[in-house]
Chains A and B, each alone.
Chain A
Amino acid sequence: MSNQTTNKLLFNNVPYFFGISRFSYEHFLSLLNSASKEITFLGLTCGFYLSKSIREIIIRKSQQIPIKILILHPQSKHRIARYELEPAEAEYHNANYFKETVIKQYRNLKYRCDKLGNSQLEIYLYDFTPVFGLEFIDDIIRVRLYGYMKRGTDSPIFVLSRGTDIFDYFKDQIRSICKNTRLMPIENI
Chain B
Amino acid sequence: MGVDKTSGTFLLSLGSAILAIGLVTLVSEFITSTKILKIMRLYGDYIQHGILRIFSSRDDPEYKEIRSAKLKQASHIKILTLVGREFIESEDKIETTKQKIQEAVEFKFLILKPDSSHWEIQYQDFEPQDLDVIGNAKREEIKNNFETLKAFVQDLKSEKKELRYYDRKPVFQIEIFDQIMFIAFYGLRSRAKYSPVIMFEERSGSRVFEYFMGQFNEYWQRGKLDE
Q: Judging by beta carbons under 8 Å apart, are B190 and A129 in contact?
A: no
Q: Which residues of A contact B51 (CB under 8 A)?
A: 12-14
Range of interface residues on A (Cβ < 8 Å) = 35 or more
Q: Which residues of B contact A23 (CB under 8 A)?
A: 41-42, 44
From B6-14, B28-36, B141-149, B211-219, give the one contacting chain A: B211-219
Q: Which residues of B contact A13 (CB under 8 A)?
A: 46, 51, 54
Does A51 belong to the interface (CB within 8 Å)?
A: no
> Which residue of chain A is the closest to B118 with respect to CB atoms?
A81
Q: Which residues of B contact A81 (CB under 8 A)?
A: 169
Does A69 belong to the interface (CB within 8 Å)?
A: no
Apart from A13-B46, A131-B171: 8 A-B pairs, beta carbons within 8 A? A16-B44, A23-B41, A149-B218, A150-B214, A150-B218, A166-B198, A177-B188, A180-B189
Q: Judging by beta carbons under 8 Å apart, are B188 and A181 in contact?
A: yes
How far is B186's CA from A131's CA once the two chains are assembled, in angstroms? 7
Tally of chain B residues near chain A (CB < 8 A): 39
Q: Contact string, B57-69, partner A, CB cutoff 8 A, digits 1/0?
A: 1000000000000
Min CB distance B215 to A, Å, is: 5
Other-chain contact of A15, B44, B187, B189, B215 (Cβ < 8 Å): B44
Q: Which residues of A contact B214 (CB under 8 A)?
A: 147, 150
Q: Judging by beta carbons under 8 Å apart, are A166 and B54 in contact?
A: yes
Q: List residues of A (124-156) whose CB comes within 8 Å of B's CBs.
A: 128-129, 131-132, 145-150, 154-156
Shortest beta-carbon contacts, A-B, top 6 = A165-B56, A15-B43, A166-B196, A23-B41, A156-B208, A12-B54
Min CB distance A140 to B, Å, is: 12
Q: Judging by beta carbons under 8 Å apart, are B44 and A155 in contact?
A: no
Q: Judging by beta carbons under 8 Å apart, are B121 and A147 in contact?
A: no
How far is B196's CA from A7's CA once the two chains are assembled, in angstroms? 12
Min CB distance A64 to B, Å, is: 25
Q: Contacts A156-B207, A166-B196 given: A85-B168 contact, CB under 8 Å?
A: yes
Does B224 belong to the interface (CB within 8 Å)?
A: no
Q: Which residues of A contact B171 (CB under 8 A)?
A: 131, 145-148
Does A164 belong to the interface (CB within 8 Å)?
A: yes
Does A98 belong to the interface (CB within 8 Å)?
A: no
Q: Judging by beta carbons under 8 Å apart, are B172 and A173 in contact?
A: no
Min CB distance B49 to A, Å, is: 6
How far is B57's CA from A99's CA once the two chains are assembled, in angstroms? 39
Q: Which residues of B contact A173 (CB under 8 A)?
A: 187-188, 190
Q: Which residues of A contact B194 (CB under 8 A)?
A: 169
Q: Which residues of B contact A154 (CB under 8 A)?
A: 211
Q: Judging by beta carbons under 8 Å apart, are A148 and B121 in contact?
A: no
Does A55 belong to the interface (CB within 8 Å)?
A: no
How far is B185's CA from A173's CA once the two chains are assembled, in angstroms? 11
Min CB distance A83 to B, Å, is: 12
How far is B208's CA from A154's CA once the two chains are assembled, in angstroms? 11
How far is B82's CA from A131's CA once the two chains are assembled, in angstroms? 15
Does B126 belong to the interface (CB within 8 Å)?
A: yes
Q: Judging by beta carbons under 8 Å apart, are A129 and B121 in contact?
A: yes
Q: Judging by beta carbons under 8 Å apart, are B46 and A15 in contact?
A: yes
Does B93 belong to the interface (CB within 8 Å)?
A: no
Does A111 belong to the interface (CB within 8 Å)?
A: no
How far is B41's CA from A17's CA once the two chains are assembled, in angstroms? 9
How far is B188's CA from A136's CA once the two chains are assembled, in angstroms? 16
Q: Judging by beta carbons under 8 Å apart, are B215 and A16 in contact?
A: no
Does A176 belong to the interface (CB within 8 Å)?
A: yes
Min CB distance B194 to A, Å, is: 8
Does A18 belong to the interface (CB within 8 Å)?
A: yes
